[in-house]
C-alpha cells in the first residue's frame, strides 16, 4: 500500500506540473490574444481616421466640382443667350457654334 501511495504522490506531482505548464501556456495565449486585439483595435481606429480624412477631402473636392459646374453652366447660358436669332432647324448651341466657327475662319 505504501508503494501505491508513493506512486499516487508521484502521479499527482506530474499532474500538478502539467497543470502549471497548461496554465502558463493558457496565460501566454491570453496575453497574445490581448496584444492582437489591441493591435487590431488600434488599426481599426487608424483606418477610421483615414476614412474621415478621405471623406473630408472628397466632400471639399465635390463642392469645388459643383461650383465649377455652376460657373460653366452660367457661362454657357450667357453664351447661348447672346444668340439673338437661331437658324431654322438649329438649336441655340448649334447656331452659336456656327457663328464662332464662321468668325474664326473669316479672320484667318
Share of the chain above pLDDT 70, in %: 96
Distance CA 6, CA 72 (A): 97
Specify the 3-state DSSP secondary structure of 86.
coil
Domain residue spans of the chain: 2-107
Q: At residue 5, does pLDDT exceed 80?
A: no
pTM metric for this prediction = 0.51
pLDDT at 90: 93
For residue range 32-65, list pLDDT tens digits in order: 888 888 889 899 999 999 999 999 999 999 999 9
When comparing pLDDT for 27 and 70, which is higher?
70
- Contact (CB, 8 A) for 56 and 64: no
Query: Are the C-beta atoms of 97 and 83 separated by less than 8 Å?
Result: no
- Helix axis angle for 2-81 and 92-107, nearest 10°, is 70
Mean per-residue pLDDT over the chain, rounded: 89
Amino acid at each position: 500500500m505504501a508503494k501505491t501511495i508513493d506512486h499516487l504522490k508521484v502521479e499527482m506531482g506530474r499532474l500538478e506540473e502539467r497543470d502549471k505548464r497548461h496554465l502558463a501556456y493558457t496565460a501566454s495565449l491570453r496575453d497574445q490574444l490581448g496584444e492582437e486585439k489591441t493591435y487590431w483595435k488600434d488599426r481599426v481606429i487608424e483606418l477610421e481616421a483615414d476614412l474621415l480624412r478621405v471623406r473630408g477631402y472628397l466632400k471639399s473636392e465635390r463642392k469645388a466640382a459643383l461650383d465649377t459646374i455652376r460657373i460653366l453652366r452660367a457661362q454657357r447660358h450667357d453664351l447661348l443667350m447672346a444668340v439673338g436669332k437661331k437658324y431654322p432647324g438649329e438649336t441655340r448651341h448649334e447656331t452659336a457654334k456656327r457663328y464662332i466657327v464662321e468668325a474664326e475662319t473669316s479672320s484667318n
